[in-house]
Amino acid sequence: MLSIVDYSMGNLRSVAKAFEHLACPAQITRTPADIERADRLVLPGVGAFADAMAALNSYGLVEPILSFINSGKPFLGICLGLQLLFELSSEDGQHQGLGVWPGQCVRFDFKDYPQGRGLKIPHMGWNTIIRQNQCPLFRGLPDPCYVYFVHSYYVVPDQQDVSAALTEYGPVTFTSAAWKDNIFATQFHPEKSQRIGLKMLQNFIDFQPVGSA
């Protein structure tokens, strides 16, 4: 069973419908036992970092999510779900994330870049991603390819080997997808990225971790 984490922050139905379109039924849940039993887990999210961490803690979901990730089963973070995987965010102060990967989440800031003046924040709409490694999420897709973004913050990993794709927005080049072992995450929204995004979600469904049956 594929489970989608419900912590009252996210476009749950659109993510679930995308998987259902691929003939992969998805369970929306905030029950730790459901997360433990899941074969695949998706952490979506739209909104503020601190509110998201507070919600995950209030529902008792932090430990189940970390336990799932450490189990080696496939995990996918989407948008805010990518940012939460890192140690820190500077959104409205300094806030602790899940700490799966070292690094932080920072806001787009173009004040020191004349060529960035006039660019809108949030970064919203279609943009390209350029692969940095052989991430299984991108199997069978063109490079570069267009996907859909809505975000004001982006992640800065301490370890560049987790950056699976990069995207340029004005003078800033940021990590738009991350991957290591069983953990996948995208700053963009695959569920809103039409054929390209559906192919990524299918690749996530098909992914088999090393050593799995």
Active site residue 95: no
Per the residue annotation, which of 91, 123, 151, 191 is the catalytic one?
191
Active site residue 21: no
What sign does the CA torsion over 91, 58, 99, 11 have? negative
Active site residue 191: yes
CB-based contact 104:86 (threshold 8 Å): yes
Per the residue annotation, which of 95, 123, 151, 189 is the catalytic one?
189
Angle in degrees, 0-180, between the axes of helices 62-71 and 49-58, rounded to the nearest 10: 90
Per the residue annotation, which of 21, 79, 135, 168 is the catalytic one?
79
> Comparing C-alpha atoms, which of 144, 139, 151, 142 is closest to residue 186?
151
Residues forming the active site: 79, 189, 191
